[in-house]
Structures are given as structure tokens and as C-alpha cells.
Amino acid sequence: MSEALLIAGDVFFTAKLRDTLKHLGIGARSARTDAEVDAALAEAPPQLIIVDLGARGLDAVAAVQRIKGSADAAGAIPMIAFAGHVAVDRLTAAQAAGADRVVTNGQISSNLPGILADLGVTGG
């Protein structure tokens, strides 16, 4: 089964994403701190990374930049970053940091399958 790494803090929103991913044939594991993110990437690189830019416990934009700027395989993993529509600064910063797709909470919640299709990510 394909797998996504969810870098998120909101348990309820993460559960919603995890459920949608499951229906698409994509498993998910979560990370909430820089150390957990690094451990998850070292253990088994996922097919997809989804970053909640409002996650507490880490600087999410710095995590986007660190991962996407990496010279190893992690830098090539498709990444979606999301935040509330009023968090324009975070959304803009994530785009500049290298996220492949930057969307609002509403967009990822209502159209995750479409976003994944645009990125060429499939389950299985």
C-alpha cells in the first residue's frame, strides 16, 4: 500500500485526511515534531507528504524548506502544504519554500482526490 506522511497537529483534521487517503488506497502515518518527521523519513520514505502549516510543535514552513531542499530522496517526494485561508503569509512562505501544492484547509478537505491526481499520486 502507498503511504503518506501527515505532518499535522489537529487530531480531528488529520483523522479526516487519513480517512480520505484510506479510501484512495493510501495509508498514512503522522509526525508532530521535527524529530518525528526526520525519523519517519529515515525509516521509510513515503509516497506523499502533507504538511499542516498551522501545526504546533514545529516550524512547518522550515520543515517544508528543509525537506524540499534536501539532496536525498525526500526532496523529490510530492508535498502538499495547507493552512486556513486567512494564513496568507504561511501559504506564501510554503510556496516559496518549495511545497509542490499549497492549498487552504477547505480545498484539501473538499478536493484531496483531485489534488493528488494533479500531482500524479495514486493509491495501491
Query: Are the beta carbons of 55 and 37 closer than 8 angstroms?
Result: no
Q: What is the pTM of this model?
A: 0.94
Residue 88 lies in a domain: no
Residue 92 lies in a domain: no
pLDDT at 1 over 70: no
User: How many angstroms separate the CA atoms of 21 and 13, rounded?
Assistant: 12
Please compute Rg for the chain using Cα positions.
13
Which comes out higher in pLDDT, residue 11 or 84? 84
Helix (H) or strand (E) segment spanning residue 65: helix 60-68
pLDDT at 70 over 80: yes
Residue 91 lies in a domain: no
- Domain span holding position 34: 2-47+58-82+97-111
What percentage of the chain has pLDDT greater than the value 70?
A: 98
Residue 20 lies in a domain: yes
Total domains, the chain: 1
Residue 27 lies in a domain: yes
Residue 120 lies in a domain: no
Residue 24 lies in a domain: yes
Residue 35 lies in a domain: yes
pLDDT digits (tens, 9 = 90+) for 76-124: 999 999 999 898 999 999 999 999 999 999 999 999 999 999 999 988 6
User: How many angstroms separate the CA atoms of 59 and 109, rounded?
Assistant: 22
Average pLDDT in the chain: 92
